[in-house]
Amino acid sequence: MEQTEVRNVELVLPADLGFIRLARLVASGVASGAGLDVDDVADFRIAVDELSATLMETTDSDVVLVFSVGPDGLRVSGSTTSVETRAPDPDRMALARQILDVVADDYEYTTDDGRPLFRLRKRITSPLRHGA
């Protein structure tokens, strides 16, 4: 059965790096459920980890991650619940960009009215067929 609608999963986490494993777990589950192969699931998890950790380091408020599964692939967006944020560490951001260039199909990290935001996309190139 071909998927035509977009399904969303929303995760709200405290801005504490101790909770990053929940972001990784949800990323892995969503990617696996969308039919990505093992390597693409790992890439998606790493990308979500990098962007979530960078976002968590900018705020003391909650971090909101929205995972979307659609016919064109997986998307995740992230933001904080507060505009009172700090700029990400430039060295940390440079390393994150190097990693993301390898594991993500598309990504961006921006600010909107002082609130940091990220968007990430991973294409589904060859979905696995469950039960086939």
pLDDT digits (tens, 9 = 90+) for 73-130: 899 999 999 888 888 889 989 999 999 999 999 999 998 888 899 999 998 876 554 4
pTM of the model: 0.85
Cβ neighbors of 24 (< 8 A, separation 6 or more) are: 45, 48, 49
The residue extents of the domains of the chain are 7-122
pLDDT of residue 43: 95
Please check the confidence at residue 39 and state whether its pLDDT lies above 80. Answer: yes
What's the CATH number for 7-122?
3.30.565.10
The string of DSSP letters for 55-96 reads: HHTT-SS-EEEEEEEETTEEEEEEEES-S---PPPHHHHHHH
